[in-house]
């Protein structure tokens, strides 16, 4: 285990307030791991600046040294692509890679147990929070809705697991073979089927600054996940069409019976209601199809996921 070179990848987006505190804790962790001979002295931290507009990159540059590297992307490409950029950059230099957010809400001490599981032969070790007591009611509710929605759509993920995990080199090599631009790493890694285990930890408050993960970004991530791993929405369109067909048959029977009884009434309100209802459902169906077509359009161009501006080590 003492020969294992560990790379800790930290994606950063406008984290000038949190970065100094996070750096101090991560360096202390890495020093302790080396001292205990859990990892080799060649282990390092890589900060990935995902197009920050504050002083994040300057702070990273000031801390680059024997155990600290910095990767600056040309623009903001999103957390998933930033993580992928970091992993692709250091995969040749590391035996194991841990990804963790700069806010350090994820307990970095859990990395010790992750390394033990890795030493036992696990290629993937998921960091899973025990509960969501530290979250606000809104964030806790939206997060639970997100995971339940993923499960209902058939997307395999670990509940309460975000992007705090350990991956072996061969997992990252395999991951690098996936060329899709709209990434959902939680789904991709789970889908691979490598031997995995879970390490539970208690999530903390942010060390400083504010979260950059808005509801809009969560919805975008959910859309990427569903369109990447599930065709259930397309199947639901078929069932919706079948339901409308059944409703139309019921209405047809009702109209025939009403005419036979001589009390058929032309109803403007019911007609308009039906038109608006069916029209709305058709637009929703078209939107679902458009999401998949848009994904095909984007992936078909084979454009790079990111561009590197600077790499300091």
Contact 28, 22 (CB under 8 A): no
Give, rounded to a whole angstrom, the gap between the first and last alpha carbons of the chain.
24
Q: pLDDT at position 140, please?
A: 66
For 179, list phi and psi in degrees, rounded to 5: -95, 0
Residues 179, 36: one domain? yes
Our count of domains for the chain comes to: 2
Contact 199, 127 (CB under 8 A): yes
Residue 240 domain boundaries: 232-300
Residues 17, 65: one domain? yes
Contact 124, 188 (CB under 8 A): no
CA distances, 303 to each of 3, 5, 224 (Å): 37, 32, 17
Residues 239, 184: one domain? no
Tokens of 273: 């209601």
Q: pLDDT at position 265, please?
A: 57
pLDDT in tens, 77-128: 988 999 999 999 999 999 999 999 998 888 999 999 999 999 999 999 999 8
Residues 100, 236: one domain? no
Residues 29, 133: one domain? yes
**Quick one: CA torsion of 213, 218, 220, 221, rounded to 10 degrees?**
100
Residues 181, 258: one domain? no
pLDDT in tens, 173-230: 999 988 877 788 887 888 888 999 999 988 877 666 566 655 666 666 666 666 666 6
Q: What is the DSSP string of 230-290?
A: --HHHHHHHHHHHHHHHHHHHHHHHHHHHHHHT-----HHHHHHHHHHHHHHHHHHHHHHH
Instruction: Specify if 260 maps to a domain.
Output: yes
pLDDT in tens, 248-262: 667 667 666 766 776
Instruction: Specify if 72 maps to a domain.
Output: yes
For 92, list phi and psi in degrees, rounded to 5: -75, -15
pLDDT in tens, 244-297: 767 766 766 766 676 677 665 566 446 655 776 777 677 777 777 777 777 777
Mean pLDDT estimate for the chain: 82
CA angle 29, 55, 220 (to 5 degrees): 80
Instruction: Specify if 1 maps to a domain.
Output: no
Q: pLDDT at position 237, please?
A: 72
DSSP assignment letter at 106: S
Residues 222, 236: one domain? no
Question: Rounded to an integer, what distance in angstroms lies between the CA atom of residue 281 and that of residue 285?
Answer: 6
Instruction: Specify if 82 maps to a domain.
Output: yes
Q: pLDDT at position 259, please?
A: 65
Contact 187, 228 (CB under 8 A): yes
Residues 238, 201: one domain? no
Question: Rounded to an integer, what distance in angstroms lies between the CA atom of residue 105 and that of residue 134?
Answer: 10
Q: Which alpha helices (DSSP H) does the chain contain, by range?
A: 19-35, 56-63, 79-90, 110-119, 137-152, 169-175, 185-192, 215-229, 232-261, 268-300
Question: Rounded to an integer, what distance in angstroms lies between the CA atom of residue 198 and that of residue 164?
Answer: 11
Residues 224, 136: one domain? yes
Contact 172, 87 (CB under 8 A): yes
Residues 236, 210: one domain? no
Residues 193, 240: one domain? no
Residues 209, 66: one domain? yes
Contact 223, 288 (CB under 8 A): no
């Amino acid at each position: 285990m003492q020969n294992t070179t560990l790379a800790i990848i930290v994606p950063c987006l406008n984290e000038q307030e949190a970065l100094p505190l996070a750096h101090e804790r991560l360096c202390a962790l890495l020093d302790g791991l080396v001292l205990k001979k859990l990892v080799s002295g060649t282990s390092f931290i890589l900060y990935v600046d995902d197009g920050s507009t504050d002083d994040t990159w300057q702070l990273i540059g000031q801390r680059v040294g024997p155990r600290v590297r910095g990767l600056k992307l040309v623009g903001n490409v999103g957390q998933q692509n930033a993580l992928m950029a970091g992993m692709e950059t250091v995969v040749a230099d590391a035996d194991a890679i841990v990804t963790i957010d700069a806010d350090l809400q994820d307990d970095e001490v859990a990395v010790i147990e992750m390394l033990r599981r890795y030493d036992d032969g696990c290629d993937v070790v998921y960091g899973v929070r025990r509960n969501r007591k530290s979250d606000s009611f809104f964030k806790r509710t939206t997060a639970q809705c997100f995971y339940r929605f993923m499960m209902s759509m058939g997307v395999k993920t670990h509940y309460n697991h975000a992007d705090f995990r350990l991956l072996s080199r061969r997992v990252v090599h395999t991951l690098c073979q996936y060329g899709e631009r709209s990434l959902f790493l939680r789904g991709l890694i789970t889908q691979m089927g490598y031997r995995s285990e879970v390490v539970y930890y208690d999530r903390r408050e942010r060390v400083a600054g504010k979260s950059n993960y808005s509801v809009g970004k969560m919805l975008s991530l959910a859309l990427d996940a569903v369109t990447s791993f599930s065709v259930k929405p397309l199947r639901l369109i078929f069932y919706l069409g079948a339901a409308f067909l059944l409703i139309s048959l019921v209405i047809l029977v009702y109209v025939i019976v009403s005419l036979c009884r001589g009390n058929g009434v032309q109803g403007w309100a019911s007609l308009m209601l039906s038109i608006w209802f069916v029209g709305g459902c058709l637009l929703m169906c078209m939107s679902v199809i458009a999401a998949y077509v848009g994904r095909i359009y984007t992936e078909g161009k084979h454009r790079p996921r990111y561009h590197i501006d600077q790499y300091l080590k």
